[in-house]
Amino acid sequence: MDFDWTYTFKLFWSRDFWTATLLVVELSLASWTISVVLGFLLALARQSPVLVIRKAASAYIWFFRSLPLLVLLIFVYNLPQAFPSTSAFLSIPFVSGLIALVLSETAYIAEIHRGALLAINRGQYEAGHVLGLRKFGIQRLIVIPQALRVALPALGNEYISIVKLTSLVSVISLAEILLVGQRYYTQNFKVMETMLAVAFYYVLIVTVFDTLLKMLEKHLDFSRKATALSGSVPMATTAETPITATSLEKPSHPAIHLDAGGKRFGDSVVFANLDLTVAQGEVVSIIGPSGSGKTTLIRSLNGLETLEQGVVYLNGRAFLAGSEERLSATLPRHGCEMLEIGMVFQSFNLFPHRTVLENITLAPRYHHRGSKAEIQAAARATLHQVGMLAHELKYPHQLSGGQQQRVAIARALAMEPSVLLFDEPTSALDPETVGEVLRIIADLARSGRTMVIVTHEMKFALDVSDRVIFMEKGQIAFNGSPEALRQQLQQGDRLSEFVRL
Ligand SMILES: Nc1ncnc2c1ncn2[C@@H]1O[C@H](COP(=O)(O)OP(=O)(O)OP(=O)(O)O)[C@@H](O)[C@H]1O
Distance CA 251, CA 194 (A): 85
User: By alpha-carbon position, which residue is closest to atom 17 of ligand 1?
Assistant: 295
Instruction: Give the C-alpha distances (Å, rounded to integers) separating 435 from 201, 235, 401, 426.
Output: 62, 22, 12, 9
CA end-to-end span of the chain:
86
Q: How remote is the CA of residue 291 from the centroid of ligand 1, in Å? A: 5
Q: Where are the domains of the chain?
A: 5-220, 256-500
Phi, psi of 500 (to 5 degrees): -80, -10
Distance CA 184, CA 191 (A): 8
Alpha-carbon torsion (256, 132, 332, 322), positive or negative: negative
Spell out the SS3 assignment of 31-89: HHHHHHHHHHHHHHHHCCCCHHHHHHHHHHHHHHHHCCHHHHHHHHHHHHHHCHHHHHH
| pTM, rounded to two decimals | 0.81
Which ligand 1 atom is nearest residue 299's CA?
18
pLDDT above 50 for 250: no
ipTM score: 0.96
pLDDT of residue 216: 87
Which ligand 1 atom is nearest residue 266's CA?
4
pLDDT above 50 for 248: no
User: By alpha-carbon position, which residue is closest to atom 3 of ligand 1?
Assistant: 265
From the number of C-beta atoms within 10 Å of its C-beta (0-12, 13-18, 19+), residue 469 rates as buried
Per residue in 442-473, pLDDT (tens digit) is 999 988 899 999 999 888 999 999 999 999 99
Question: Residues near 492 by Cβ (< 8 Å), separated by ≥ 6?
Answer: none
Strands (E), 354-482: 419-423, 450-454, 467-472, 475-480
pLDDT of residue 328: 61
Share of the chain above pLDDT 90, in %: 75
Q: How remote is the CA of residue 265 from the centroid of ligand 1, in Å? A: 9
User: By alpha-carbon position, which residue is closest to atom 13 of ligand 1?
Assistant: 291
One-letter amino acid for residue 186 of the chain? T
pLDDT of residue 241: 47
Question: With the CA atoms of 399, 400, 404 and 405 taken in that order, what torsion angle do they form, in degrees rounded to the nearest 10?
Answer: -170
pLDDT of residue 501: 54
What 3-state DSSP class applies to 65? helix
Residue 438, Cβ neighbours under 10 Å: how many? 20
pLDDT of residue 334: 55
pLDDT of residue 326: 75
Ligand 1 — pocket residues by CB below 6 A? 265, 270, 288, 290-296
- One of 3.40.50.360, 3.30.720.200, 3.40.50.300, 3.40.190.10 is the CATH number of 256-500, namely 3.40.50.300
Q: How remote is the CA of residue 293 from the centroid of ligand 1, in Å? A: 6
pLDDT above 60 for 94: yes
Distance CA 358, CA 145 (A): 14
Distance CA 9, CA 178 (A): 17
Per residue in 144-172, pLDDT (tens digit) is 999 998 999 999 999 999 999 999 988 88
Task: Give the confidence band of 393 by pLDDT, cuts at 50, 70, 90.
Answer: very high
User: By alpha-carbon position, which residue is closest to atom 18 of ligand 1?
Assistant: 293
CATH number assigned to the domain covering 5-220: 1.10.3720.10
Whether 5-220 shares its CATH topology with 256-500 is answered no
DSSP letter string, 117-156: HHHS-HHHHHHHHHTT--HHHHIIIIIHHHHHHHHHHHHH
Helix (H) or strand (E) holding 264: strand 256-265
Question: Residues near 223 by Cβ (< 8 Å), separated by ≥ 6?
Answer: 352, 395, 397
User: By alpha-carbon position, which residue is closest to atom 5 of ligand 1?
Assistant: 265
User: By alpha-carbon position, which residue is closest to atom 28 of ligand 1?
Assistant: 291
Which ligand 1 atom is nearest residue 474's CA?
14
Distance CA 256, CA 73 (A): 61
